[in-house]
Structure formats: structure tokens, C-alpha cells
Homo-oligomer: A and B are copies of this chain.
Amino acid sequence: MSSKNENIKRVRRDRTKDILNAATKLFSEKGFRGTSLASIAEAVGLTEPGLLHYFPSKVRLLQGVLAFRDQQDTDKYSELTDSDKNSLQTIFNSLKNLVNKNEDNPALIRLFTILVSESIRTDHPSHEYFIDRYQMIRGTFTNYLSSLDDLDISADIDTLSSILIAVMDGLQIQWLLDPESVNMLEAFNLFSKIMIGYLEN
């Protein structure tokens, strides 16, 4: 029995990864609502029911995509944690690197930018996901800034975190919409300079 199963072509490969990649691409271009299951199925050479064999519903597929990409994305912030020398300069250098990487990866930025806005609606399937995600990122930033003991700021560090994230998100919108007119990295560099100037006092 067991020997029979070897080298049999009938064993078709697991298409989960292919599906997640195709869905990521399409969701990032057209959003969740704007993407049909048929278009995803076509992209991986499956029919709709064939696709639904892997993910029983469209919402489940979205959750799969978010979980899949979340790792890649949060890895980017982990660079901050790794740094032993927690200085203001290193933190902002890491953020600059992040922005720089983002400029080379429009698809992923698009995915989160479009999905975040879609999920402002309380009945959107990823509404809670993004609330949690933003709280997590704000918390991460707050931790980094709090760890700087050579810092003398009376300002609310939590509010600073919101501003930091806001600048990155806002620049991404302008850049995605009109890349010719907006230099995201240059803008973030100037913003960093201003923030460092303020925080070092």
C-alpha cells in the first residue's frame, strides 16, 4: 500500500501558497470588495470551486492573506528591536530604511493602504484586525521611544507614535496616488530631521 503512493502523478501539489500570492496581488490592486474569486482562481489556473476548496469563503481567504503577509511586514519593524544601541539616530535610521524598502515594494504598501481604508467600516471583515494592528504598532513605537533615557521630553510619547505612523501612512497615500509628484523618502528624511531636532532639544 505505502509503496504504491510514491511517484504517482495523481498527487497534485498544494496550491495554497500560489493562491495567497495571487490574492495578495489582486487585493492590493483592487481591494477586497473589488476583487472577485473568479479573478483569483483564474490567476492560479483554478476554477472558483477549486479555489474554494482551499479557502471555504472569500473572507477566510482575506484572513489568510493578512496572516501570511503580517509576518513579512512585522519583520520590518523587528529591525528596530534588534538594535542594541537604542539611540534616537538608530531608530530613525531604521525607519528611513523601512520607508526606503517600502518604495521598492509598492504592492505590499498598496495592500495595507487599500485594506485599511476599506476596513474603516465597522462591518468590514478586517475591521478588528486593523484596529489591533495599529494599536500594536503604536505600542511598539512607544516602547522604543520610552527606552531612550537620554531623552528629555515632556510630550506624550503615545501621541508622538501616532504622529510618526500618520506621516508614514499619509506619505504613502500621496506617493501611491502620484509617484511622480511625491518623493516619499526625501519627505520622511526631512520629517526625521525635524523630529530629532525636537526630541534632542
Contact = CB atoms under 8 A, between A and B. Distances in A.
Interface of A: 29-31, 33-34, 110, 113-114, 116-121, 127, 130-131, 134-135, 138, 155-156, 159-160, 162-163, 165-171, 173-174, 176-178, 181-183, 186-187, 190-191, 194-195, 197-198
A152 B124 CA distance: 47
A146 to B, nearest CB: 16
Q: Is the interface of A mostly helix, strand, loop or mixed?
A: helix
Q: How many copies does the complex hold?
A: 2
A168 to B, nearest CB: 7
Nearest to A169: B170
A29 B114 contact: no
Nearest to A31: B118
Contacts of A166: 166-171, 173-174, 187
Looking at A156, A173, A176, A183, which has the most chain B CB atoms within 10 Å of its CB? Answer: A173
Given A117-B113, A167-B170, A162 B134 contact: no
